[in-house]
Amino acid sequence: SQQGEEDPQALSIQEGENATMNCSYKTSINNLQWYRQNSGRGLVHLILIRSNEREKHSGRLRVTLDTSKKSSSLLITASRAADTASYFCATVFAGNMLTFGGGTRLMVKP
């Protein structure tokens, strides 16, 4: 299985702090994507990083990819209470099928 696995499984921080979530996977990939899911809601695409890229930024989000270690990290800077959600990495090996990890539950306390 080439499923991504996130750690930590749960993270609790204060508003204003940075949150870092990690994802590991097992096989070579075409790209890796991060999604957010608010409780009971759909998945929202945050950022896509291709296998030949090492870092991408989008607003307060920073994603890194290390294909030699088969790992990625998502950094949310200056977190807000509204960032409270579950965050999932998903890998694409071939075609366009996403393989999701188990997610990190982030709680940002006001």
CB closer to another protein out of 59 and 97:
97
Q: Which is nearer to another protein, 10 or 78 (CB)?
A: 10
Residue that the structure tokens 């695409």 belong to: 45
User: Which residues contribute to the site for another protein (CB under 8 A)?
Assistant: 3, 30-31, 33, 35, 40-45, 47-48, 50, 88, 90, 92, 95-103
Listed residue (24, 31, 26) closest to 8, CA to CA:
24
Report the nearest approach of another protein to the CB of residue 97 (Å). 5
The closest alpha carbon to 5, from 105, 102, 106, 108, belongs to: 102
The nearer residue to another protein, 59 or 95, going by C-beta atoms, is 95
Beta bridge partners of residue 5, listed in sequence order: 24
> How far is it, in rounded angstroms, from Cα 59 to Cα 81?
16
CB of 30 to another protein, least distance (A): 6
